[in-house]
Amino acid sequence: MNLHWKKRLESIVNYFFSIHPVRHVVLGYLTYILIGWILLCLPFLHKSGAAAGGLDHLFISTSAVSTTGLVTVSVSGTYNIIGQIIVLILIQLGGIGYMTFGSFIFLAQRRPLSKERMNIANVVFAMPESFKVYKFIKSVIAFTAVIEITGAIILYTLLRKAGVENAVWSAIFHSISSFCTAGFSLYDSSFENYSSHFGLNITIAALSYFGAVGFIVFVDVWRKLRGKIENVTLTTKIILWATFYVSIIGTVVLFITEPSIRQLPADKRLLASFFQAMTAMTTVGFNTIPIGGLSRASLLLIITLMVIGASPSGTGGGLKSTTFSALWGLVKSILKGKNEVSFWGRIIPEYRVRLASANFCFYIIFLLLGTYLLTLSDGAMDFEQILFEAASALGTVGLSTGITSSVTTMSKIILIGLMYAGRLGPLTLALSMFVGKQEKFAVPKPDDLVI
């Protein structure tokens, strides 16, 4: 009997690794969500008197694995320390890619990675062809550990001085949540009570930027500093420039136009504007001012930033800055009468521009469909609140005007679907339905732009 079940298990594992990498990723994240859901449903992980149903636990598990941060119940008020650790593990696995830890264990045992694992890693991280998978995964683990540990130490120092109870656990939780751009907080009002705390704001922002710009940028810059390569890739250049300009534009517009921010003193006004622009574009989802109190114009701006999103191979979500840049380059080339899309004299291959266009189309379709379904389910709510919630879920951001816990059961299911689609990417989810088992998955070339 044992031999029979062993063979059955081996056949299941072999089938799992034989399917197309895109479908593998789709099933992989779904598996983690379901495992997380089962664990979070266990009564001994709950605090006494916590009122949370099975759908709430599924919502939290999906939000954690997708690194979104939307919650229907309070994490600190519902789960005890063990439950919070489970949530944090789900955030970590979702943030740096579910294949990373498994592959790292293989590497630590000096066992070679199979071709299937390498193909899956290429899909998860969207790596340029010039990057070696095993070296890249080791770099991801090392980079993640260094940043999260450093962030936790700094946050502990700041939180202890601020008089926060259990500063050690709070620092660890928020360091990982920030780097993974998850937006989960042990504080029910996020960081609104620390809106004027410069140290906390900057530390959270730094951790979020490190996670959002992506592992490609880190590995690329590190290779450049060590003299391994002459120039960083085009992808890295575009990510850094896009991140810089979108952050500046978002900060300036909020600083000038948002009424609730204009009422603050000049220094707090700039800090609040920067943090809210940062939290939307990195998709980390923390907030230092009440989102529900923002003007409609500011909500629309933040929706735009959430749609643009972070960068490929990073922990953030959204359409991705490289996709947005490719489309911007396409518009510029059309206006200038050029046949090619180029940046700094380097031409983007036509199929990459087509991929960016398809990615944009699928993203908007999912956003509109999600908004439409939410409107049917919760039609009594303001449209801008519904659109904001849908954009936040699909962009895996986690910002909310305060309606998440009060939406209908159907709306919760719709938001779960949007968060799952957002973690995978709408185009990836669509591809999983059409790709053939033996098709070759396109891997970016060294001078390519990763979408």
The proportion of the chain whose per-residue pLDDT surpasses 70, expressed as a percent, equals 82
Encode pLDDT of 43-62 as tens digits.
999 998 888 999 999 999 99
Strands (E) across 242-302 are located at none
12-26, 351-365, 406-420: the lowest-pLDDT one: 12-26
Which residues touch 397 (CB under 8 Å, ≥6 apart)?
68, 69, 183, 279, 280, 283, 284, 285, 306, 317, 318, 391
Tell me the two tokens of residue 155.
Answer: 């946050």
Nearest 5°: CA angle at 304, between 299 and 309? 120
Neighbours of 337 (CB within 10 A): 6
Q: For position 1, what pLDDT does the model report?
A: 47
- Return the axis-axis angle of helices 409-424 and 350-377, rounded to nearest 10°: 170
Mean pLDDT over 414-424 rounds to: 95
Encode pLDDT of 67-80 as tens digits.
999 999 999 999 99
Phi, psi angle pair for 20, to nearest 5°? -60, 140
Neighbours of 357 (CB within 10 A): 15
The residues that bridge with 342 in the sheet, in sequence order, are 347
The residues that bridge with 26 in the sheet, in sequence order, are none
Mean pLDDT over 256-278 rounds to: 93
Q: For position 448, what pLDDT does the model report?
A: 63
For residue 215, pLDDT over 60 is answered with yes
For residue 237, pLDDT over 50 is answered with yes
Helix (H) or strand (E) holding 88: helix 81-96
Of residues 412 and 13, more confidence is placed in 412
Q: Which of 436, 428, 416, 375 is nearest to 64 (CA)?
A: 416
Cα–Cα dist 30/228, whole Å: 38
CB 25 within 8 A of CB 120: yes
Q: Per 3-state DSSP, what percentage of the chain is helix, strand, and coil (rounded to 5)? A: 70, 0, 30
For residue 111, pLDDT over 60 is answered with no
41-50, 181-190, 315-324, 441-450: the lowest-pLDDT one: 441-450
Cα–Cα dist 264/424, whole Å: 39
Encode pLDDT of 312-345 as tens digits.
878 899 999 999 999 999 999 999 988 888 888 8
For residue 365, pLDDT over 80 is answered with yes
Encode pLDDT of 423-436 as tens digits.
988 777 776 666 55
Q: For position 314, what pLDDT does the model report?
A: 82
Q: What is the dihedral of CA 142, 148, 150, 151, to 10 degrees?
A: 160
For residue 403, pLDDT over 90 is answered with yes
Q: For position 107, what pLDDT does the model report?
A: 42
Q: What is the dihedral of CA 196, 197, 198, 203, to 10 degrees?
A: -130
Encode pLDDT of 117-154 as tens digits.
555 555 555 555 555 666 777 778 888 999 999 999 99
Averaged confidence pLDDT in the chain: 86
Q: For position 231, what pLDDT does the model report?
A: 83
For residue 116, pLDDT over 90 is answered with no
Q: For position 9, what pLDDT does the model report?
A: 62
Of residues 225 and 279, more confidence is placed in 279
Cα–Cα dist 322/310, whole Å: 9
End-to-end CA distance of the chain: 48
Of residues 313 and 2, more confidence is placed in 313
The residues that bridge with 341 in the sheet, in sequence order, are 348
For residue 279, pLDDT over 50 is answered with yes
The proportion of the chain whose per-residue pLDDT surpasses 90, expressed as a percent, equals 62
Encode pLDDT of 3-33 as tens digits.
666 666 666 556 555 566 677 778 888 999 9
Which residues touch 388 (CB under 8 Å, ≥6 apart)?
291, 299, 302, 303, 399, 400, 401
Q: For position 209, what pLDDT does the model report?
A: 96
Tell me the two tokens of residue 163.
Answer: 């008089």
Q: For position 105, what pLDDT does the model report?
A: 43
Phi, psi angle pair for 332, to nearest 5°? -60, -40
Q: For position 352, what pLDDT does the model report?
A: 87
Centroid of chain to Cα 439 = 28
Mean pLDDT over 181-206 rounds to: 95
CB 154 within 8 A of CB 179: no
Of residues 112 and 379, more confidence is placed in 379
Q: For position 266, what pLDDT does the model report?
A: 82
